[in-house]
Amino acid sequence: MIERPSRRLRQADIAAHAGVSVSTVSRVLANEPGISEDVRVQIFKVASELGYPLKAGTAAGSRALALIASNGVTGGLSAFYQGIVDGLRSEAAAQGMSFDIRLINEMKATPQVVGEHLESVGAQGLFLVGIDPSEALGDWLVESRLPVVLVNGVDPQLRFDGISPPNFFGAFAATRMLLDAGHRRILHLTGSHRHTIRERVRGFEAAIACAEGCAARIVRLPFETNSSAEAHAATLDALAVDGNFTAAFCMNDFIAVGVLEAVTELGRRVPDDFAIIGFDDLPCAEMANPRLSTMHVDRAALGREAVGMMQFRFAHPDVPARHVSHAVTPVPGGTIARRTTHDL
């Protein structure tokens, strides 16, 4: 008999006693495929002996499919989407929901392809992670009455439940930080067709419109190669045309790293001569020198919220769709400094 810990049980306790990784425990409790039956039985046995709360239906309950945009993969899930998946897995296990994960090229997410994925795993619900449904897919999903939750996505018609960071408000707050530091000539480096990113552009523009005497320029990146390298080149070009810009709000931290490298290369001191703020609080933000100022997105919380929304949709299929936003929080770094009146 395994001795039960006196504190609250965690999946790490099961992993330690079963001799497997926490990820394997999470996948088993979420009833994901690809785990040997011996390992699966052992993990459930250890969980039961430890007294870990296994809800009814953990082994055979509601099942959902998570389709993740494959452009978020570079040898493995990006840090942003890995955090969301971790939240999905942990909450699915706690809620007794089984779910499968598949990568899909967003351009190939047609009704036929998505339908085949759903049928192959017997899913009753669909998470679209980082995917904005096309018009054809959206119409098909509405007609099918399939429970759908958009994770880090937005449906402008609000036909489907969704969860995302508050992209407009987060971008507004990030830009205000630059304005409050005294900057009045600000670049915004962005790209992508996604509604979530358009909202960040809109938040930037709204913040600029609220301040007098501002000059702003939106620099759009093609995202054909490496986003940091593209941001580096675009920043050099922008400052060659007009060297009076003193700050940049970047769509994400990868882009902010490219801007930081470019302005440093030009001999500008960060944050004294040039200020930078990113978005998402990815691992690269902490590794930058100086550490990037950014906006923190609780990615695991997005995943957990999505599972709760799916369970609610299973129970209440006919209520109006809702979109939930989790607030982002500023992360102080070394790339923004308060400017004095003499500097302005």
Q: Which residues contact 3 (CB under 8 A, 6 or more apart)?
A: none
Paired residues of 188 in beta bridges: 218, 249
342 part of a folded domain: no
The pLDDT confidence band at residue 329, using thresholds 50, 70 and 90, is very high
Q: Do 270 and 321 sit in the same domain of this protein?
A: no
At residue 90, the pLDDT reads 85
217 part of a folded domain: yes
89 part of a folded domain: yes
141 with 133: CB under 8 angstroms? yes
Mean pLDDT of 84-109: 88
Percent share of the chain, pLDDT over 70? 90
Distance CA 27, CA 14 (A): 12
Q: Do 190 and 260 sit in the same domain of this protein?
A: yes
Q: Which residues contact 179 (CB under 8 A, 6 or more apart)?
A: 186, 207, 208, 211, 214
At residue 43, the pLDDT reads 84
Beta strands in the chain (DSSP E): 63-69, 98-104, 125-129, 148-151, 161-164, 185-190, 215-220, 247-250, 275-277, 294-296, 323-325, 329-331
Q: Do 228 and 188 sit in the same domain of this protein?
A: yes
Percent share of the chain, pLDDT over 90? 67
What 8-state DSSP symbol labels residue 33? S
239 part of a folded domain: yes
Q: Do 268 and 306 sit in the same domain of this protein?
A: no
Q: Do 277 and 309 sit in the same domain of this protein?
A: no
285 part of a folded domain: yes
Number of domains in the chain: 3
Q: Do 161 and 310 sit in the same domain of this protein?
A: yes
The pLDDT confidence band at residue 54, using thresholds 50, 70 and 90, is low
151 part of a folded domain: yes
70 part of a folded domain: yes
When the pLDDT of each residue in the chain is averaged and rounded to a whole number, the result is: 88
Q: Do 199 and 229 sit in the same domain of this protein?
A: yes
At residue 5, the pLDDT reads 56
Mean pLDDT of 94-120: 90
Mean pLDDT of 253-265: 97
334 part of a folded domain: no
129 with 68: CB under 8 angstroms? yes
Most confidently modeled of 6-20, 99-113, 268-282?
A: 268-282
The CATH number of residue 4's host domain is 1.10.260.40
Distance CA 278, CA 251 (A): 6
Closest of 110, 123, 6, 19 to residue 64, by C-alpha? 123
The pLDDT confidence band at residue 251, using thresholds 50, 70 and 90, is very high
The CATH number of residue 158's host domain is 3.40.50.2300
* Residue-range definition of the domain harbouring residue 4: 1-54
| 75: pLDDT strictly greater than 60 | no
pLDDT digits (tens, 9 = 90+) for 206-221: 999 999 999 999 999 9
Taking each helix axis from N to C end, the angle separating 253-265 and 227-241, rounded to the nearest 10 degrees, works out to 50
- For residue 254 the two structure tokens come to 């990868």
Q: Do 157 and 41 sit in the same domain of this protein?
A: no
The kind and range of the H/E element at 315 are: helix 299-315
At residue 37, the pLDDT reads 60
Q: Do 187 and 284 sit in the same domain of this protein?
A: yes
What is the per-residue DSSP string for 199-241?
HHHHHHHHHHHTSTT-EEEEEE---SS-HHHHHHHHHHHHHHH
Mean pLDDT of 174-199: 94
At residue 72, the pLDDT reads 52
The pLDDT confidence band at residue 224, using thresholds 50, 70 and 90, is confident
Q: Do 137 and 24 sit in the same domain of this protein?
A: no
Q: Which residues contact 318 (CB under 8 A, 6 or more apart)?
A: none
